[in-house]
A and B are shown apart, each in its own frame.
Chain A
Amino acid sequence: MTEPGERVDSAASFEAEALPHLDAVYRFALRLSGAPDQAEDLVQETFLRAYKSWGQYTRGTAAKSWLFTICRNVFLRARERRQRHNEIVTENVGREGPGVNPVNPIWVSVLGVDPEGDFFESIVDERIMEAIDDLPEEYRTAVVLSDLEGLPYADIAELMEVPVGTVKSRLFRGRRQLQTILYDYAVEMGYIAARAGTDE
């Protein structure tokens, strides 16, 4: 049975170790759910579950990854119930997969126009977030955790319950899809000129 003194310690340590990750968990929840009100619900459910399980959490380990894990599990279970999306992701497990061209097609598109991809910097935050939301969940989660939150591949693999090779594959494909969406947007907005013959 938990004594009152222990409860105060537990609440204090939760506030010190878990709550500083509120913004990061909210960002992740928003990208998963795609709607601010759903993201708030998801964040509350995540922190509530984390708080109730705080006794099982090993202090000093990666609290952020642990919170992301809970958040994703809550989201996925809710999604299963609602069947909100019907996404099928086909992917090759392993490195980037044999036969995948290491030359980024976006680089080919911007060749002679913007070869170093400066156009990415011109795109407003809101459009970048919308483009992330257009990715299938498996790619979206990997890209958000790596590119926005800076988690190591091993942590993402553990969180998504897949091998590191699958994380790399999802990141590779997710980034290429995302860059294509952002490139198309940059052309639409006139940030860069489309390269004749390669941008159909």
Chain B
Amino acid sequence: MSFLDKLRSLFAGTPEAGGDSAVPAIPCEEALSVVHDFLDGELEGVSHEQVKAHFDACQRCYPHLRLEEHYRQAMRRAGSRQQAPPGLKVKLMELLAEADA
């Protein structure tokens, strides 16, 4: 059994801690398999509350969520700082004016 498979079997259970009893529990493997959909706001077939409750309660899965969050924060930061060169808008306006002529 590979190291990854051993880890996978470790995550085949449900959270160790309690969490919100009003929200039906989901197993670790399901929570991990929808972590991207959860962060993208694109969940289907499972509610945001269910997934959130799992990550809030499960000490094993929580770092996975944080890792994906850190990745996204780095991506957003890198993306938001990149802007078009200052002269490009001017060139573009000239081009559009020519198209109108």
Contact = CB atoms under 8 A, between A and B. Distances in A.
Q: Which residue, of A43, A103, A128, has the highest number of chain B Cβ atoms within 10 A?
A: A103
Interface stretch (A59-67, A79-87, A106-114, A133-141): A106-114
Contacts of A168: 36-37
Q: Majority SS of interface residues in chain B?
A: helix
Chain B interface size, as a band, is 35 or more
A123 B89 contact: no
Interface in A27-59: 27, 30, 36, 40, 43-44, 47-48, 51-52
A110 B8 CA distance: 16
Contacts of A26: 82-85, 88
Interface in B47-101: 63-64, 66-68, 70-79, 81-85, 88-89, 91-92, 95-96, 99-100
Q: Which residue, of A106, A125, A171, has the highest number of chain B Cβ atoms within 10 A?
A: A125
Nearest to B37: A168
A72 to B, nearest CB: 17
25 contacts: A7-B100, A11-B100, A19-B89, A22-B89, A23-B82, A25-B84, A40-B91, A43-B88, A48-B96, A48-B99, A102-B8, A102-B32, A103-B64, A104-B64, A106-B67, A117-B68, A118-B70, A125-B77, A125-B78, A128-B74, A148-B76, A148-B78, A148-B79, A152-B42, A179-B71
Contact of A27 (B79, B89, B99): B79
B70 A121 contact: yes
Contacts of A43: 84, 88, 92
A146 interface: yes
Contact of B67 (A44, A104, A144): A104
Interface of B: 3-5, 7-8, 11, 29, 32-33, 35-37, 40-42, 63-64, 66-68, 70-79, 81-85, 88-89, 91-92, 95-96, 99-100
